[in-house]
Structure 1
C-alpha cells in the first residue's frame, strides 16, 4: 500500500530554471559536508538534478530508471508498485557514501525501492537522499529537500501544462 499524495487542487506549481538552479546550489552546499562518493539519480525527474549536483560536487553520477506513476497526467495518485531498472548500477565502482536524488518525494516508495537496490549493488554504508520537492502526504522525509508542496509540480524539463501555473519562489534554504 502506498501513501496518498496530497493534491489540494488550488494550483499547479511551476518550477522555473532560476528556481531550479538556486535549489541545486542549496542542495550541493547542504550535501557537501557529507562527502558523497557517488550520486544516483532517478530518471526521469532526478536526472538533471543528479547531473548538476555531480558537477558541483565533482563526483561521478549514474542514472537509474524507476516508475511509480501510472501516467503523466496531473494529480494522478501513485500506483503503489515501483518498477526499477537497476542495470546501470552493475558497472558502478563500489561507494561508501551515496547521494540518491529525485525531483519529488511523492509518497517515498520510489526512494525506498531504489535505496534497497543501491545497498545490494554498490555496497553503500550510508545513503542520503535529496529531492527538490516533498509532497505533504509523503510518509518519508528525505535527508534534504527544498519545497514542501501540496499540489502538482511542473518541472523545467517537462512540457508545461496547458493550465495556469503558479511559480515556485526562488529558494533561500533547504529543509532536512
Structure 2
C-alpha cells in the first residue's frame, strides 16, 4: 500500500455492538478462575472499554496513558503498578486492539523489569490479531492481519476528523497492505 492509498476503514460505531462486545469480554473475565482486583485502561484506546468493564465487574479502575508518549509519564505509572503486582494485587490491563502487539509487549517488558509478578497480570482486548507479537488472555474477536487489512475505527475515535483517522492508518502501512 502506498502512502497515498486509502485504507479500508471499518467503523465499529454502533453503541449496541460495542456494548455487546464489552459484556461478552466481561463475562469471559468473570467466568475465569483468575480474578482481577483492578482494571487498568491503556490510553487512549483502552480507556473507554476499561471503564465499562470496571463497571461490569464492579472493580476500581486505573489508567495509564501510553499513547501520548510523554517521556517517563506512563513508565513511572507502570512502575507503580508493578509494585502493586509485586505486593500481590491482580491487575487486568484493557486495550481496544492487540494489533502488532507493540503496546502490550512494551507494557509487559516494563512491568517485568519493575518487579511485576506475572501471575498477577492479565490483558484483555476487544479485537485480537492472532499474528501479533504479544499474547492476550481475553478477547471477543480474532482477526488474522495477514488476511484482514481493515483499519478498525472504534466509537470513541469515530468523532475525530476523517483526515486524522486516515493519516493514523497510513502511518502503519505494514498493517494495511
TM-score by length of 2: 0.67
CA distance in 2, matches of 1:27, 1:154: 19
CA distance in 2, matches of 1:49, 1:162: 22
Deviation at 1:46, TM superposition (A): 0.3
Q: Is the 8 A contact 1:136 1:150 kept in 2?
A: no
1:48 aligns with 2:48: yes
For CA contacts below 8 A with separation 6 or more, give which structure has more relative contact order: 1
Q: What are the ranges of 5 or more consecutive residues in structure 1 without an aligned counterpart? A: 1-8, 70-81, 164-176
CA distance in 2, matches of 1:22, 1:64: 25
1:135 aligns with 2:132: no
Q: Is the 8 A contact 1:13 1:151 kept in 2?
A: yes
Write the mapping of 1:39-118 to structure 2, written as runs, cut at 5 A: 39-67=39-67, 85-89=74-78, 90=80, 93=84, 94-118=87-111
TM-score by length of 1: 0.67
Comparing both structures, which one devotes a greater share of its residues to helix? Answer: 2
Comparing both structures, which one devotes a greater share of its residues to strand? Answer: 1
**The structure with more radius of gyration:** 2
Helix, strand or coil: the match of 1:30? Answer: helix
Provide closer, same or farther for how the CA distance between residues 84 and 155 of structure 1 changes in structure 2, counting only shifts above 3 A. farther
Q: Is the 8 A contact 1:54 1:60 kept in 2?
A: yes
Provide closer, same or farther for how the CA distance between residues 123 and 104 of structure 1 changes in structure 2, counting only shifts above 3 A. same
In structure 2, the residue matched to 1:77 is: none
Write the mapping of 1:139-154 to structure 2, written as runs, cut at 5 A: 139-147=133-141, 148=143, 150-154=149-153
CA distance in 1, matches of 2:59, 2:152: 28
CA distance in 1, matches of 2:97, 2:115: 23
